[in-house]
Structure 1
Amino acid sequence: MNKIIKSYILTLALMLMSGSLLIAQNQFPSQIWHKGNIHTTDGQVYSGLVKYDLDNNLVQLQVETIATFTASNVTYFEILDDIYGGLRKFYSLPYSLNGDYETPIFFEVLTEGEEIALLCREYIATDSRNMNAWGPVGMNPFWGPQNMIGYRLAFNYYFFKDNQIQRYSMKKKDLFAMLPGHDDEISLFMRKNRLEHDKRGDLLRIAAYYNELNKN
Protein backbone atom coordinates (compact mmCIF):
# COMPACT_ATOMS: atom_id res chain seq x y z
CA MET A 1 0.00 0.00 0.00
CA ASN A 2 2.80 2.45 0.89
CA LYS A 3 4.45 1.77 -2.46
CA ILE A 4 1.19 2.54 -4.27
CA ILE A 5 0.74 5.80 -2.35
CA LYS A 6 4.35 6.85 -3.00
CA SER A 7 3.96 6.02 -6.68
CA TYR A 8 0.74 8.04 -6.83
CA ILE A 9 2.36 11.04 -5.11
CA LEU A 10 5.35 10.90 -7.47
CA THR A 11 3.07 10.75 -10.51
CA LEU A 12 1.00 13.64 -9.20
CA ALA A 13 4.13 15.72 -8.53
CA LEU A 14 5.42 15.09 -12.06
CA MET A 15 2.06 16.09 -13.53
CA LEU A 16 2.03 19.29 -11.48
CA MET A 17 5.60 20.10 -12.54
CA SER A 18 4.67 19.51 -16.18
CA GLY A 19 1.67 21.78 -15.76
CA SER A 20 3.85 24.50 -14.23
CA LEU A 21 6.32 24.25 -17.09
CA LEU A 22 3.49 24.48 -19.61
CA ILE A 23 2.11 27.60 -17.94
CA ALA A 24 5.60 29.18 -17.87
CA GLN A 25 6.14 28.41 -21.54
CA ASN A 26 2.74 29.86 -22.39
CA GLN A 27 3.35 33.22 -20.77
CA PHE A 28 3.10 36.26 -22.98
CA PRO A 29 6.03 38.65 -23.53
CA SER A 30 4.55 41.29 -21.21
CA GLN A 31 4.28 38.75 -18.39
CA ILE A 32 7.98 37.88 -18.09
CA TRP A 33 11.23 39.71 -17.34
CA HIS A 34 13.70 40.42 -20.16
CA LYS A 35 17.26 41.72 -20.20
CA GLY A 36 17.05 45.32 -21.37
CA ASN A 37 17.65 49.03 -21.00
CA ILE A 38 15.43 51.98 -20.15
CA HIS A 39 16.32 55.43 -21.52
CA THR A 40 14.67 58.21 -19.53
CA THR A 41 13.82 61.75 -20.56
CA ASP A 42 16.58 63.17 -18.33
CA GLY A 43 19.25 61.32 -20.32
CA GLN A 44 19.82 58.43 -17.90
CA VAL A 45 20.15 54.81 -19.03
CA TYR A 46 19.18 52.00 -16.66
CA SER A 47 20.08 48.38 -17.36
CA GLY A 48 18.71 45.22 -15.78
CA LEU A 49 15.65 43.04 -16.11
CA VAL A 50 12.76 44.84 -17.79
CA LYS A 51 9.04 44.10 -17.76
CA TYR A 52 6.43 46.18 -19.58
CA ASP A 53 2.70 46.88 -19.32
CA LEU A 54 1.29 48.49 -22.46
CA ASP A 55 -2.25 48.60 -21.08
CA ASN A 56 -1.13 51.06 -18.41
CA ASN A 57 1.94 52.38 -20.28
CA LEU A 58 4.36 51.39 -17.55
CA VAL A 59 7.78 49.77 -17.66
CA GLN A 60 9.57 48.22 -14.68
CA LEU A 61 13.26 47.72 -13.98
CA GLN A 62 14.53 45.00 -11.66
CA VAL A 63 18.07 45.21 -10.34
CA GLU A 64 18.20 44.84 -6.55
CA THR A 65 14.74 46.33 -6.19
CA ILE A 66 11.96 47.09 -8.67
CA ALA A 67 11.51 50.62 -10.04
CA THR A 68 8.50 51.67 -12.12
CA PHE A 69 8.56 54.25 -14.91
CA THR A 70 5.69 55.79 -16.86
CA ALA A 71 5.69 56.65 -20.55
CA SER A 72 5.90 60.31 -19.52
CA ASN A 73 9.43 59.95 -18.12
CA VAL A 74 10.81 57.40 -20.61
CA THR A 75 12.13 58.19 -24.09
CA TYR A 76 12.35 54.55 -25.09
CA PHE A 77 13.19 51.12 -23.73
CA GLU A 78 14.58 48.02 -25.38
CA ILE A 79 14.44 44.36 -24.46
CA LEU A 80 16.16 41.20 -25.63
CA ASP A 81 13.23 38.87 -26.28
CA ASP A 82 14.78 35.49 -27.04
CA ILE A 83 11.43 33.78 -27.49
CA TYR A 84 9.40 36.25 -29.53
CA GLY A 85 11.80 38.16 -31.73
CA GLY A 86 15.27 39.28 -30.62
CA LEU A 87 15.87 42.94 -29.83
CA ARG A 88 12.64 44.92 -29.53
CA LYS A 89 12.36 48.71 -29.07
CA PHE A 90 9.44 50.64 -27.60
CA TYR A 91 9.24 54.43 -27.95
CA SER A 92 7.12 56.83 -25.93
CA LEU A 93 5.11 58.94 -28.39
CA PRO A 94 2.18 61.35 -27.94
CA TYR A 95 -1.10 59.85 -29.13
CA SER A 96 -4.78 59.99 -28.28
CA LEU A 97 -6.05 56.47 -27.66
CA ASN A 98 -9.57 57.50 -26.69
CA GLY A 99 -10.02 60.54 -28.91
CA ASP A 100 -9.72 63.03 -26.06
CA TYR A 101 -6.21 64.45 -25.89
CA GLU A 102 -2.72 63.24 -26.68
CA THR A 103 -0.62 61.69 -23.94
CA PRO A 104 2.67 59.74 -24.09
CA ILE A 105 2.14 56.02 -24.68
CA PHE A 106 4.43 53.18 -25.71
CA PHE A 107 4.66 51.92 -29.29
CA GLU A 108 6.89 49.13 -30.51
CA VAL A 109 8.83 50.17 -33.62
CA LEU A 110 8.89 47.33 -36.15
CA THR A 111 10.69 49.15 -38.95
CA GLU A 112 11.43 52.75 -39.86
CA GLY A 113 12.74 54.70 -42.82
CA GLU A 114 12.73 58.18 -44.30
CA GLU A 115 9.11 57.95 -45.48
CA ILE A 116 7.26 55.89 -42.89
CA ALA A 117 7.65 53.85 -39.72
CA LEU A 118 5.55 50.84 -38.82
CA LEU A 119 4.50 50.76 -35.17
CA CYS A 120 2.40 48.38 -33.13
CA ARG A 121 0.86 47.84 -29.72
CA GLU A 122 0.31 44.29 -28.51
CA TYR A 123 -2.50 43.01 -26.35
CA ILE A 124 -3.80 39.68 -25.06
CA ALA A 125 -7.05 38.69 -26.75
CA THR A 126 -9.46 35.90 -25.92
CA ASP A 127 -9.83 33.34 -28.65
CA SER A 128 -12.57 30.72 -28.53
CA ARG A 129 -11.58 29.35 -31.93
CA ASN A 130 -8.21 27.93 -30.87
CA MET A 131 -8.80 25.62 -27.95
CA ASN A 132 -5.11 24.79 -27.44
CA ALA A 133 -3.69 28.30 -27.48
CA TRP A 134 -2.22 30.03 -24.45
CA GLY A 135 -3.21 28.70 -21.12
CA PRO A 136 -5.54 26.10 -19.60
CA VAL A 137 -8.71 25.41 -21.53
CA GLY A 138 -11.23 22.61 -21.77
CA MET A 139 -11.06 19.84 -19.15
CA ASN A 140 -8.33 20.27 -16.56
CA PRO A 141 -7.46 17.00 -14.76
CA PHE A 142 -7.09 18.76 -11.41
CA TRP A 143 -9.77 21.46 -11.41
CA GLY A 144 -12.48 20.07 -13.66
CA PRO A 145 -14.18 21.64 -16.70
CA GLN A 146 -13.30 25.23 -17.58
CA ASN A 147 -14.51 27.79 -20.09
CA MET A 148 -13.69 26.84 -23.65
CA ILE A 149 -11.66 29.99 -24.25
CA GLY A 150 -7.99 30.32 -25.12
CA TYR A 151 -5.75 33.35 -25.40
CA ARG A 152 -3.60 34.74 -28.17
CA LEU A 153 -1.20 37.59 -28.70
CA ALA A 154 -2.78 40.24 -30.94
CA PHE A 155 -1.60 43.57 -32.33
CA ASN A 156 -2.90 46.96 -33.38
CA TYR A 157 -0.76 48.53 -36.10
CA TYR A 158 0.04 52.16 -36.84
CA PHE A 159 1.96 54.04 -39.49
CA PHE A 160 3.99 57.10 -38.56
CA LYS A 161 3.95 59.35 -41.64
CA ASP A 162 3.71 63.08 -42.28
CA ASN A 163 4.60 63.61 -38.60
CA GLN A 164 1.42 61.85 -37.50
CA ILE A 165 0.58 58.45 -36.07
CA GLN A 166 -2.21 56.90 -38.12
CA ARG A 167 -3.92 53.67 -37.07
CA TYR A 168 -4.09 50.97 -39.72
CA SER A 169 -7.55 49.44 -40.18
CA MET A 170 -6.13 46.04 -41.26
CA LYS A 171 -7.97 46.36 -44.59
CA LYS A 172 -5.95 45.75 -47.74
CA LYS A 173 -7.27 48.83 -49.54
CA ASP A 174 -6.19 51.01 -46.62
CA LEU A 175 -2.69 49.53 -46.70
CA PHE A 176 -2.21 50.98 -50.19
CA ALA A 177 -3.65 54.29 -48.98
CA MET A 178 -1.02 54.32 -46.23
CA LEU A 179 1.73 53.50 -48.74
CA PRO A 180 0.89 55.62 -51.79
CA GLY A 181 2.77 55.89 -55.06
CA HIS A 182 3.92 52.30 -55.58
CA ASP A 183 0.76 50.21 -55.81
CA ASP A 184 1.98 47.99 -58.66
CA GLU A 185 5.38 47.33 -57.10
CA ILE A 186 3.89 46.52 -53.70
CA SER A 187 1.22 44.25 -55.19
CA LEU A 188 3.88 42.32 -57.12
CA PHE A 189 6.12 42.12 -54.04
CA MET A 190 3.26 40.73 -51.96
CA ARG A 191 2.30 38.14 -54.59
CA LYS A 192 5.86 36.95 -55.20
CA ASN A 193 6.56 36.55 -51.48
CA ARG A 194 3.05 35.39 -50.52
CA LEU A 195 2.64 38.19 -48.01
CA GLU A 196 -0.59 39.06 -46.23
CA HIS A 197 -1.80 42.57 -45.42
CA ASP A 198 -2.61 41.78 -41.78
CA LYS A 199 0.28 39.71 -40.41
CA ARG A 200 3.05 41.19 -38.27
CA GLY A 201 6.07 39.79 -40.12
CA ASP A 202 4.52 40.41 -43.54
CA LEU A 203 3.60 44.02 -42.72
CA LEU A 204 7.15 44.62 -41.53
CA ARG A 205 8.57 43.38 -44.84
CA ILE A 206 6.07 45.42 -46.88
CA ALA A 207 6.80 48.64 -44.96
CA ALA A 208 10.58 48.09 -45.24
CA TYR A 209 10.20 47.46 -49.00
CA TYR A 210 8.19 50.67 -49.38
CA ASN A 211 10.95 52.65 -47.71
CA GLU A 212 13.49 51.06 -50.08
CA LEU A 213 11.36 52.02 -53.09
CA ASN A 214 11.34 55.63 -51.95
CA LYS A 215 15.13 55.75 -51.78
CA ASN A 216 15.31 55.44 -55.59
Structure 2
Amino acid sequence: MKLYVYVLVLLSFMAFGVNAQTFPSELWHEGQVNLTDGSVKSGNIKYDLDRQTVQLKIGQRNETYDASQVTSFSFLQESINARRMFYSLPYAIQNNYRRPVFFEVVVTGKMTLLAREYVVVRSNNTPSSLNSRYRYLDYSGFNGSRSYLSYKMFFAKEDGTIRESSGKKNDVLYQFGEARSELKKYVKKEKLKLDRLEDVAKLVEYYNKEIN
Protein backbone atom coordinates (compact mmCIF):
# COMPACT_ATOMS: atom_id res chain seq x y z
CA MET A 1 0.00 0.00 0.00
CA LYS A 2 1.25 3.45 -0.88
CA LEU A 3 1.88 5.65 2.12
CA TYR A 4 0.50 9.14 1.63
CA VAL A 5 2.61 12.11 2.64
CA TYR A 6 1.31 14.08 5.60
CA VAL A 7 2.74 16.81 7.80
CA LEU A 8 5.26 15.38 10.24
CA VAL A 9 4.91 16.55 13.82
CA LEU A 10 7.84 15.35 15.89
CA LEU A 11 7.69 15.35 19.65
CA SER A 12 10.57 15.91 22.00
CA PHE A 13 10.85 13.46 24.88
CA MET A 14 8.29 14.84 27.29
CA ALA A 15 5.93 13.79 30.04
CA PHE A 16 2.54 12.87 28.65
CA GLY A 17 -0.21 15.43 28.82
CA VAL A 18 -2.24 16.37 31.88
CA ASN A 19 -2.54 12.89 33.27
CA ALA A 20 0.96 11.41 33.47
CA GLN A 21 -0.50 8.07 34.58
CA THR A 22 -2.13 7.37 31.23
CA PHE A 23 -0.57 6.43 27.90
CA PRO A 24 -2.12 7.54 24.56
CA SER A 25 -3.36 4.01 23.74
CA GLU A 26 -5.42 4.01 26.94
CA LEU A 27 -7.43 7.08 25.95
CA TRP A 28 -10.20 7.79 23.46
CA HIS A 29 -9.30 10.15 20.60
CA GLU A 30 -11.48 11.78 17.98
CA GLY A 31 -10.56 10.19 14.67
CA GLN A 32 -11.35 8.24 11.53
CA VAL A 33 -11.05 4.61 10.43
CA ASN A 34 -10.71 3.56 6.77
CA LEU A 35 -11.90 -0.01 6.23
CA THR A 36 -10.83 -2.48 3.56
CA ASP A 37 -14.35 -2.46 2.06
CA GLY A 38 -13.87 1.20 1.19
CA SER A 39 -16.07 2.62 3.91
CA VAL A 40 -14.91 5.42 6.20
CA LYS A 41 -16.13 5.75 9.78
CA SER A 42 -15.63 8.63 12.19
CA GLY A 43 -15.96 8.69 15.95
CA ASN A 44 -13.82 8.21 19.04
CA ILE A 45 -10.89 5.82 18.63
CA LYS A 46 -8.92 3.67 21.03
CA TYR A 47 -6.12 1.50 19.63
CA ASP A 48 -4.23 -1.56 20.84
CA LEU A 49 -1.05 -2.35 18.91
CA ASP A 50 -0.42 -5.56 20.85
CA ARG A 51 -3.77 -7.01 19.82
CA GLN A 52 -3.74 -5.24 16.43
CA THR A 53 -7.20 -3.80 17.02
CA VAL A 54 -8.99 -0.47 16.82
CA GLN A 55 -12.11 0.32 18.81
CA LEU A 56 -14.50 2.88 17.37
CA LYS A 57 -17.18 4.53 19.49
CA ILE A 58 -20.03 6.11 17.53
CA GLY A 59 -22.60 7.51 19.93
CA GLN A 60 -23.58 4.66 22.23
CA ARG A 61 -22.31 1.98 19.83
CA ASN A 62 -18.83 0.39 20.05
CA GLU A 63 -17.24 -1.38 17.10
CA THR A 64 -13.95 -3.29 17.06
CA TYR A 65 -11.82 -3.95 13.97
CA ASP A 66 -8.60 -5.87 13.57
CA ALA A 67 -5.73 -4.97 11.25
CA SER A 68 -7.06 -7.24 8.47
CA GLN A 69 -10.24 -5.12 8.28
CA VAL A 70 -8.53 -1.72 8.32
CA THR A 71 -6.38 0.06 5.73
CA SER A 72 -5.60 3.03 7.96
CA PHE A 73 -6.76 5.09 10.89
CA SER A 74 -5.90 8.51 12.22
CA PHE A 75 -6.78 10.65 15.19
CA LEU A 76 -6.04 13.94 16.87
CA GLN A 77 -4.06 13.53 20.07
CA GLU A 78 -5.17 16.61 21.95
CA SER A 79 -2.43 16.46 24.59
CA ILE A 80 0.18 17.29 21.96
CA ASN A 81 -2.13 18.89 19.37
CA ALA A 82 -0.93 16.54 16.64
CA ARG A 83 -2.66 14.21 14.20
CA ARG A 84 -1.24 10.70 14.22
CA MET A 85 -1.57 8.36 11.24
CA PHE A 86 -1.43 4.55 11.24
CA TYR A 87 -1.48 2.10 8.33
CA SER A 88 -2.14 -1.62 8.23
CA LEU A 89 0.73 -3.20 6.29
CA PRO A 90 1.76 -6.83 5.67
CA TYR A 91 4.67 -7.78 7.91
CA ALA A 92 6.10 -10.98 9.37
CA ILE A 93 6.37 -10.49 13.13
CA GLN A 94 7.31 -14.11 13.74
CA ASN A 95 7.66 -17.43 11.89
CA ASN A 96 8.03 -15.56 8.58
CA TYR A 97 4.24 -15.42 8.29
CA ARG A 98 3.14 -12.09 6.85
CA ARG A 99 -0.06 -10.64 8.23
CA PRO A 100 -1.55 -7.13 8.55
CA VAL A 101 0.19 -5.11 11.27
CA PHE A 102 -0.45 -1.54 12.41
CA PHE A 103 2.43 0.93 11.96
CA GLU A 104 2.52 4.62 12.76
CA VAL A 105 3.85 6.75 9.92
CA VAL A 106 6.58 9.15 11.03
CA VAL A 107 8.25 10.26 7.77
CA THR A 108 7.29 9.36 4.19
CA GLY A 109 9.29 9.45 0.98
CA LYS A 110 11.67 7.20 -0.94
CA MET A 111 12.57 5.98 2.54
CA THR A 112 9.66 5.82 4.97
CA LEU A 113 10.12 5.70 8.72
CA LEU A 114 7.52 3.71 10.64
CA ALA A 115 7.14 3.11 14.35
CA ARG A 116 5.35 0.87 16.82
CA GLU A 117 5.03 2.02 20.42
CA TYR A 118 5.30 -0.26 23.44
CA VAL A 119 5.50 0.13 27.20
CA VAL A 120 8.77 -0.48 29.05
CA VAL A 121 8.99 -0.92 32.82
CA ARG A 122 12.20 0.34 34.41
CA SER A 123 13.34 0.58 38.00
CA ASN A 124 13.52 4.04 39.54
CA ASN A 125 17.31 3.85 39.68
CA THR A 126 17.62 3.47 35.90
CA PRO A 127 20.33 5.88 34.69
CA SER A 128 18.95 9.11 33.25
CA SER A 129 20.82 8.45 30.01
CA LEU A 130 18.57 5.45 29.46
CA ASN A 131 15.42 7.25 30.57
CA SER A 132 16.00 9.91 27.92
CA ARG A 133 15.33 7.38 25.18
CA TYR A 134 11.65 7.15 25.99
CA ARG A 135 9.00 9.60 24.89
CA TYR A 136 6.47 9.41 27.70
CA LEU A 137 7.11 8.90 31.39
CA ASP A 138 4.56 7.52 33.84
CA TYR A 139 5.32 8.81 37.34
CA SER A 140 2.74 6.60 39.02
CA GLY A 141 5.05 3.77 40.03
CA PHE A 142 4.99 3.18 43.78
CA ASN A 143 6.76 -0.18 43.72
CA GLY A 144 10.19 1.09 42.74
CA SER A 145 9.47 1.10 39.01
CA ARG A 146 8.25 3.44 36.30
CA SER A 147 6.58 2.79 32.98
CA TYR A 148 7.85 4.40 29.81
CA LEU A 149 6.48 4.56 26.29
CA SER A 150 9.17 3.63 23.79
CA TYR A 151 9.25 2.84 20.08
CA LYS A 152 10.45 0.18 17.72
CA MET A 153 11.59 1.71 14.45
CA PHE A 154 11.04 0.28 10.98
CA PHE A 155 12.23 1.34 7.53
CA ALA A 156 9.97 0.87 4.50
CA LYS A 157 11.43 1.16 1.01
CA GLU A 158 9.61 2.01 -2.21
CA ASP A 159 9.42 -1.67 -3.15
CA GLY A 160 7.30 -2.32 -0.05
CA THR A 161 10.04 -4.02 1.96
CA ILE A 162 9.79 -3.30 5.70
CA ARG A 163 12.74 -3.94 8.01
CA GLU A 164 12.97 -3.40 11.75
CA SER A 165 15.95 -1.46 13.08
CA SER A 166 17.76 -2.26 16.30
CA GLY A 167 18.37 1.45 16.86
CA LYS A 168 22.11 0.91 16.76
CA LYS A 169 24.04 3.43 14.69
CA ASN A 170 25.51 1.01 12.16
CA ASP A 171 22.21 -0.81 11.72
CA VAL A 172 20.31 2.42 11.04
CA LEU A 173 22.90 3.64 8.54
CA TYR A 174 22.91 0.24 6.80
CA GLN A 175 19.31 0.86 5.71
CA PHE A 176 20.50 3.59 3.35
CA GLY A 177 22.89 1.49 1.27
CA GLU A 178 25.52 3.46 -0.64
CA ALA A 179 24.38 6.72 0.95
CA ARG A 180 25.43 5.67 4.44
CA SER A 181 28.91 7.23 4.22
CA GLU A 182 27.48 10.66 3.45
CA LEU A 183 24.77 10.24 6.08
CA LYS A 184 27.38 9.32 8.66
CA LYS A 185 28.87 12.79 8.21
CA TYR A 186 25.43 14.36 8.70
CA VAL A 187 24.87 12.35 11.87
CA LYS A 188 28.19 13.58 13.27
CA LYS A 189 27.55 17.19 12.27
CA GLU A 190 24.06 17.29 13.80
CA LYS A 191 25.06 15.12 16.78
CA LEU A 192 22.16 12.75 16.17
CA LYS A 193 21.45 9.82 18.48
CA LEU A 194 20.18 7.03 16.27
CA ASP A 195 18.46 5.14 19.08
CA ARG A 196 16.02 8.06 19.33
CA LEU A 197 13.00 8.23 17.07
CA GLU A 198 13.11 12.01 16.68
CA ASP A 199 16.76 11.98 15.56
CA VAL A 200 16.24 9.11 13.11
CA ALA A 201 13.30 11.06 11.67
CA LYS A 202 15.62 14.00 11.03
CA LEU A 203 18.05 11.67 9.28
CA VAL A 204 15.35 10.16 7.06
CA GLU A 205 14.00 13.61 6.15
CA TYR A 206 17.50 14.74 5.19
CA TYR A 207 18.02 11.62 3.06
CA ASN A 208 14.69 12.04 1.27
CA LYS A 209 15.28 15.73 0.49
CA GLU A 210 19.02 16.03 -0.08
CA ILE A 211 20.35 12.72 -1.40
CA ASN A 212 19.44 11.43 -4.86
TM-score bracket for the superposition, by shorter chain length = 0.7 to 0.9
DSSP-derived class of the 2:177 partner = coil
Is 1:29–1:84's contact at 8 Å kept on the other side of the alignment? no
Mark the runs of 5 or more structure 1 residues left unpaired by the alignment: 1-21, 139-146
2:94 match: 98
2:54 match: 59
DSSP-derived class of the 1:25 partner = coil
Q: Which amino acid aligns with 1:41?
A: T
2:170 match: 173
TM-score norm. by structure 2 comes to 0.80
Please report how far the alpha carbon of residue 62 of structure 1 lies from its aligned counterpart in structure 2 after TM superposition.
1.1
* Deviations, residues 106-125 of structure 1 (Å, cap 9, x unaligned): 00111110x21111110111
- Of 179, 182, 206, 2:179 maps to 182
Q: Tell me whether 169-178 or 76-85 shows the greater mean CA deviation.
A: 76-85
The separation in 2 between residues aligned to 1:129 and 1:187, in whole angstroms, is 34
1:207 match: 204
Please report how far the alpha carbon of residue 190 of structure 1 lies from its aligned counterpart in structure 2 after TM superposition.
2.2
| Counterpart mapping for 1:104-115 below 5 A | 104-113=100-109, 115=110
CA RMSD of aligned residues (A): 2.1
Q: Report 1 or 2 for greater relative contact order, CA contacts < 8 Å, sequence distance ≥ 6.
A: 2
Is 2:52–2:66's contact at 8 Å kept on the other side of the alignment? yes
The separation in 2 between residues aligned to 1:212 and 1:90, in whole angstroms, is 23
Q: Please identify runs of 4+ aligned residues in structure 1 that moved more than 3 A.
A: 22-25, 129-133
Matched, 1:30 2:25: yes
* Deviations, residues 4-50 of structure 1 (Å, cap 9, x unaligned): xxxxxxxxxxxxxxxxxx99333111000111110001111111111
Q: Which amino acid aligns with 1:137?
A: G
Is 2:20–2:138's contact at 8 Å kept on the other side of the alignment? no
DSSP-derived class of the 1:210 partner = helix
Q: Which amino acid aligns with 1:80?
A: L
1:71 match: 67
- Of 120, 141, 147, 1:137 maps to 141
DSSP-derived class of the 1:36 partner = strand
Is 1:23–1:135's contact at 8 Å kept on the other side of the alignment? no
Is 1:130–1:150's contact at 8 Å kept on the other side of the alignment? no
1:128 match: 123
Please report how far the alpha carbon of residue 135 of structure 1 lies from its aligned counterpart in structure 2 after TM superposition.
4.2
Please report how far the alpha carbon of residue 84 of structure 1 lies from its aligned counterpart in structure 2 after TM superposition.
4.4
Which one has the largest radius of gyration? 1
Is 2:21–2:140's contact at 8 Å kept on the other side of the alignment? no
